[in-house]
Amino acid sequence: MQCKYRDKLHLLILWKTYEAKSIVQYNRLITLQHGHSRRVRRMKNGGVWRRLAGSLLGTRQIYLCGAVSSRSPYFISGRYIFKRYVGRYKKLLNVFCTSDDINLKYDSTLEKPSAIADYAFAGSKSTVLLGTDSISSCDEFAFKDSAFENQPFVNGVKETGGIVFDIDYDADEVVLPDDEKTLQAYANNIDLSKVKKLVIHNAYSLNYFMTSKIPPVIVVDSNNIYLDDMVTIVHSSRGDSVVKDVQLTDKVKRFVMHDGIVYTSDMKTLVAGLPFKKEVVIPEGVMEIHANAFYRCNIESVTMPDSLEVIDTCAFHECKNLSTVKFGNGLTRICERAFFYCKNLKEIVLPDRLERMDSYAFSYAGLESVTFGSGLNSLSNGVFANTPMQKVHIPNTVTRIAHCVFGEDIKSIIADNYIQDIESVASCINRRNADDFVIISCDGKKTYIPKNVKPSMFDTLKSRASFFWSDEGEETCGFWDCSYSAKGREDEALAEYLEFGFIDAKEYLKKNSKRIITRLVEEGDEDKIVQFLNLGFVSKPTLKSLIPKAEEKELTIVSSYILKQIGDKKTSNRFAL
């Protein structure tokens, strides 16, 4: 449908209620495309206005030489029809088939348009679109039936105002016009994965919020591409569309491509590897792996040269298939989250020259074993957090250690020398694994530290530990009473009494023997049950009451011990070992 205003008109949109579409106020003749006409005068009957306005706003082409004046919060006053949505989102609905240059820019920054609707330019004879710097979305048919649509392809692209609205998928090579301007958006139907080879000059042209698909081959044809830009290009992916090859033209002077990996032209920095690269051998001479170089790549193994000194932030972040890492002897620093979430990485041997590992360097990795070098002087916060590692040996070169360095599965920490606040490595408030403890052996001393500390006892634990580590006369120290849960206190008191014979732990175990032995039988750990029974803390009435439960759980050894302790010789012969 086409509606043509014969004279200059003033379109007034009121939109008083949510139900009302709009009200168009005028007293001129309207000519409809299908041949009939009618005259509508100013009336109080809102239904007539709403029906007419609804038909106008629903058409593809609206001819108008006037302006829009809105008293509604849903529309914006101006030369074209813009609709407001939630927040500051504004969408261009129609430009009234203008032949003049189209400028979407508003004086107020609050009224900048964000999107363009289908058929917004239908009937327009203009081929100039300005003021698109705030546009981030363009509907598929926004330029349908307009002069823009009739423009020829240029290097396989139809574009105006930084908006790419059509691409020739049959072209052997598509060149984006992003060398002298920044692209703002692609029409929603643009599928770059259908492009055989895409030439770009600006990494922003592959911005995550602009493109829903990625071409298989990307050609970089500009020297205005920098380190992080190159990482963005090489790692381009959207769902199942991933770049398979990146080519550099002679215009690119800063980088070189070697065996599927981009390096700086001097071969000192590894910049980025293609996502499907599996085995990487870094050549001698490379001194740094750039940040995000293999971010979420499918790499399985990497061999590093002795010349390599620094692995930058997130270099191997979320490389879930990475299982083998051979560090070079010259490595001095591993930066923050460098191997974050490398779930298949089970074992590493760190070189002797490594001095520093930053926060969360191996957090969420699958590490079970770590061999430290002789040069490490500190362990940063969370460097091995959320790993399944259970035992670790810290060399005497380490003098500083942060809180929560290891994961919640850690069971034993051995340190050659005392490290200040080493107990904080094990203990924390409100940990998930609330009932466990860590064995810390340090400078010839040994103690048990609860993983989850009762908040009211945290300061007590700190002061007690400080005295214990600093006083040469103190050989042992108990911390069972600092544990958060009753189960944690019971298990640690048992361990401490068996290891060190603490009197206070003994009294606690005797006082709560019925509750402890009942829980242990319920859990079914025969070794721990036998350990506790051998202490002789459980009364005979309690022992008798446990026999049915032990038999029910088929704890033969436990049943034998119980019967032996209550003196039922006749029955105990049946359970003799």
Instruction: DSSP for 278-344, please give it.
Output: -EEEPPTT--EEPTTTTTT----EEE--TT--EE-TTTTTT-TT--EEE--TT--EE-TTTTTT-TT
Kindly report which listed range (154-163, 344-353, 464-473) carries the lowest average pLDDT score.
Answer: 464-473
Residue 109: partners with Cβ closer than 8 Å, 6 or more residues away = none
Q: Residue 272, class by beta-carbon neighbours within 10 Å (0-12 exposed, 13-18 middle, 19+ buried)?
A: buried
pLDDT reading at 469 higher than 60 = yes
Q: Tens digits of per-residue pLDDT, 206-226? A: 987 788 899 999 999 999 999
pLDDT of residue 75: 81
Which range is most confident: 113-122, 283-292, 400-409, 553-562? 283-292
Give the DSSP H/E element, type plus range, for residue 214.
Answer: none
Enclosing H/E stretch for 571: helix 569-572
> What mean pLDDT is predicted for residues 105-125?
82
Looking at residue 316, its pLDDT comes to: 98
In the predicted structure, residue 110 carries a pLDDT above the cut 70: no
Residue 132: which pLDDT band, with cuts at 50, 70 and 90?
A: very high
Percent of residues, the chain, with pLDDT higher than 70 = 84
- Least confident span in 10-19, 196-205, 274-283, 415-424: 10-19
Q: How far apart are CA 333 and CA 305, in angstroms?
A: 14
**pLDDT-derived band of residue 431, with 50, 70 and 90 as boundaries?**
low
* Angle between helix 503-511 and 486-500 (nearest 10): 130
Q: What is the pTM of this model?
A: 0.81
Distance CA 379, CA 398 (A): 7
490-527 per-residue burial string, b: 16 or more CB within 10 A, e: under 16: bbbbbbbbeeeebeebbebbeebbbebbeebbeeeebe
What's the whole-number average pLDDT of the chain?
85
- What distance, in Å, lies between the first and last C-alpha atoms of the chain? 96
Q: What are 275's two structure tokens?
A: 């996502």
- Token pair recorded at residue 348: 């590493």
Average pLDDT over residues 281-290: 98
- Mutual orientation of helices 486-500 and 513-523 as an angle, nearest 10°? 100
Q: Which pLDDT tens digit goes with each residue over 383-427?
A: 999 999 999 999 999 999 988 899 889 999 999 988 888 888 877
How would residue 114 be classed by pLDDT, with cut points 50, 70 and 90? very high
Q: Is the pLDDT of residue 21 over 50?
A: no
Asked whether the predicted pLDDT for residue 40 surpasses 90, the reply is no
pLDDT at 63 over 90: no
Three-state DSSP class for 155?
coil
